[in-house]
Amino acid sequence: CDSNANCTNTKGSFYCTCHVGYSGDGVTYMDECALGIDTCHSDALCTNTKGSYTCACKQGYYGNGFRCFDTDECTYDLDNCHADALCTNTKGSYNCTCLRGYSGDGFTCKDIDECALGIHNCSKDAACINTKGNFYCTCLPGYNGTGYVCSDINECLDGSHNCHPNAECFNFNGTFQCNCSRGYKGNGTYCVGKGTL
């Protein structure tokens, strides 16, 4: 008989009876886990013990082993996703994906410099400024607009030029130029009559 069974002598023979908590024919040891006759949950691990077995939920699950439930690592902040990544719960685990504007495997995410890589949509008349996970556009001096669309400021028409009263203002894309009027000399921002000392 097995060590976990009682041997009962009979006339010309014997029989084996399993101890309480054990089952089988009393002669052979039974591994309920290996035989698949355990009642552990499908998301639990069965561990054979002397005369019985135990059930424990697999990693990523919680419960008593007979009933196991998915652990939402994302909701309970049990993930190790990067701060600039999105955590998505899956059955028994989770996935990490870097947010837009970042690259990496989700556990490590690095800012993408859209400006340096030229993958922005700023106007040709704007400066691209990289920010954490994004970028913004600002029109260059002499232009106004959203940064995505920039229009030349006509300083000659709007009066924002610094030309001398005796000079003519000429507008160019993004700038302007002052030239002293006929009969005057100077740099355009300061003009004096040619005959004046």
Residue in 89, 51, 49 with CA at minimum distance from that of residue 72: 89
Question: Domain 114-152: which CATH class?
Answer: mainly beta
Assess contact for 111 and 130: CB atoms under 8 A: yes
d(CA 114, CA 128): 8
Please state which CATH number belongs to domain 71-111. 2.10.25.10
Model confidence pLDDT, tens digit, residues 22-59: 767 766 667 889 888 899 999 999 999 877 899 999 99
R_g of the chain computed on alpha carbons = 42
d(CA 128, CA 111): 15
Is the pTM above the cut of 0.75? no
* pLDDT at res. 196: 66
Q: Within 13 Å and on the Cβ side, how many CA atoms surround 75? A: 6
We find that the CATH architecture of domain 155-193 is: Ribbon (2.10)
All CATH 2.10.25.10 domain ranges of the chain, comma separated, are 5-69, 71-111, 114-152, 155-193
We find that the CATH architecture of domain 5-69 is: Ribbon (2.10)
pLDDT band per the 50, 70, 90 thresholds, residue 83: very high
Please name the amino acid found at residue 179.
Answer: N
What is the bridge-based pairing of β-strands 126-131 and 85-90?
A: unpaired
- Bin 177: left if φ > 0, else alpha if -120 < ψ < 50, else beta: beta
